[in-house]
Amino acid sequence: MSENGISNYYEYLPQSSQAQQIVILLHGLGSNGQDLISLAPMWAQYLPEAVFVSPDAPFACDMAPPGWEGSYQWYSLQDRDPQVLLRGVRVVAPLVEKFIDEQLARFDLPPEKLALVGFSQGTMTSLYVAPRLKRAIAGVLGYSGSLPWDEALKVEVRHKVPIHLIHGQADDVVPVAAWGHAKEILEREGFPFSGHTTPGLFHNIDGTGIASGGAFLQKVLNS
C-alpha cells in the first residue's frame, strides 16, 4: 500500500484528445480495479473525451480464501453493524479523497468535471465520500449499493450532488429495499436524485443500467 493508500489503478484514456472529464470507478467487495474498467469503453460512447480510472481498493479482502490474490475491499464487512460499517467507511474516505485530488491534478481539471461510479461496496463508499469532499464533484452513479447514513451525519454534508442509483429487484446480496431507503433519505435531504430498479436483475449491471448510467454521466459532466 502506498502512502496515500491507493497504489494501483487501471485507466481507459480518450482516443484522440486531452481528457476533458474524469470518471473514477470504485469496485465491489472482493474485486479489483480491472472489474469496472472493462465497462469504460461502453461509457466512453457517451463521454468520448473522458478518462476512466479504476483503482484497486487499498485493503486486501478479509473475506477472501487464504492465498487468494487480487481481491480487495474499501473496508471490512465482517461485522454488519451499521455503526461498525460507518467507522470503516470513515477510515477509507480520506484515502479516496486524496486519490480524487491526485487525478484532478494529473489531468489539470476542476472537480465539477469528475464523477464517481460505484458498484456495491464501491457505491456505498462513493455515496459517503462525495457529499463530504471539500469541493463539489459532478455527481455519483451507483449500482447495487446502499447509503451509509445516520441522522447525526447530516452536519457533515457539504455538497448535495446529483445521484443516480440503479438496483436489481432480484438482488440477493444487497436487497433492493436498500435502493428505496437511499431514495427516501436523499430526496428528503434535497439531493437531486434519479435512477431505477430493474425487474429480475440480480447483483449485477446489465445493458439497461449501463445505458442509463451513461446518459447520467453525460448529463452531469457536460453541464
Establish whether 159 is a catalytic residue.
no
Tens digits of residue pLDDT in 113-126: 999 999 999 999 99
Is 130:106 a contact under the CB 8 Å cutoff?
A: no
- Single out the residue of 58, 55, 87 nearest to residue 72, CA to CA: 58
Establish whether 120 is a catalytic residue.
yes
Is 147:182 a contact under the CB 8 Å cutoff?
A: yes
Tens digits of residue pLDDT in 45-56: 999 999 999 999
Establish whether 196 is a catalytic residue.
no
In whole numbers, what is the pLDDT of the chain averaged over residues?
Answer: 93
Catalytic residue among 120, 126, 144, 146: 120
pLDDT at 70: 84
Catalytic residue among 71, 101, 194, 203: 203
* pTM reported for the whole predicted model: 0.95
Domain ranges, ordered by start, for the chain: 9-221
Query: How many CB atoms lie under 10 A from the CB of residue 99?
Result: 21
Higher pLDDT, 15 or 9: 9
- Average pLDDT (185-203) is 97
Radius of gyration of the chain (CA): 16
Catalytic residue among 27, 167, 171, 212: 171
Is 20:109 a contact under the CB 8 Å cutoff?
A: yes
- Residue 118 CA, distance from chain mean position: 3
Tens digits of residue pLDDT in 151-191: 777 788 999 999 999 999 999 999 999 999 999 999 999 99
pLDDT at 179: 98
Phi, psi of 22 (to 5 degrees): -125, 135
pLDDT at 4: 47
Tens digits of residue pLDDT in 130-158: 999 999 999 999 999 999 887 777 788 99
Q: CA separation (Å) from 133 to 71, 75, 170? A: 27, 19, 33
Residue 129 host element (H or E): helix 121-129
CATH topology of domain 9-221: Rossmann fold (3.40.50)
- DSSP assignment letter at 77: -
